[in-house]
Amino acid sequence: MKQLFDRIPDWVKNKFLLSGVAFLVVILFLDRNDLFTQMDRARELNNLEKSKQYYREETSKQKKELEALKNDPAALEKFAREKYLMNKDDEDLFLIPEKKETPAQ
């Protein structure tokens, strides 16, 4: 046993190196906030930032549309006709479904 211990180089038996390696193993693999968890959280944060930007843009569009509806009676009438299929008493409403284009084969 003594011969085996003597074969190990001194730099490997250094207590600072051993404690540093043990610390890195705990931090990188065994901790609750290990490296892989942090990478997943960073990816999730990136996705959330993208969706946050998307929803901000959508909110901006909706605010512009709301302002147009408040100030322009023609826009309000167009909105009611398109979204709620409203029509005047003397009009008939015909719904024509849009034809979906199929890719050429």
* Residue pLDDT, tens place only, 47-69: 999 999 999 999 999 999 999 99
Segment 36-46 mean pLDDT: 95
pLDDT of the residue at 55: 97
- Please report which confidence band the pLDDT of residue 3 belongs to, taking 50, 70 and 90 as the band edges: confident
Helices 73-84, 35-71: axis angle to 10 degrees equals 120
Q: Who has greater pLDDT, 58 or 104?
A: 58
pTM over 0.75: no
Integer Cα distance of 77 and 86 in angstroms: 9
Nearest CA among 103, 105, 77 for reference residue 91: 77
Are 17 and 11 in contact by the 8 Å Cβ rule? The answer is yes
DSSP element (H, E) containing 9: none
pLDDT at residue 42 greater than cutoff 90: yes
Residues 6+ apart with CB under 8 A from 27: 34, 35
pLDDT at residue 13 greater than cutoff 60: yes
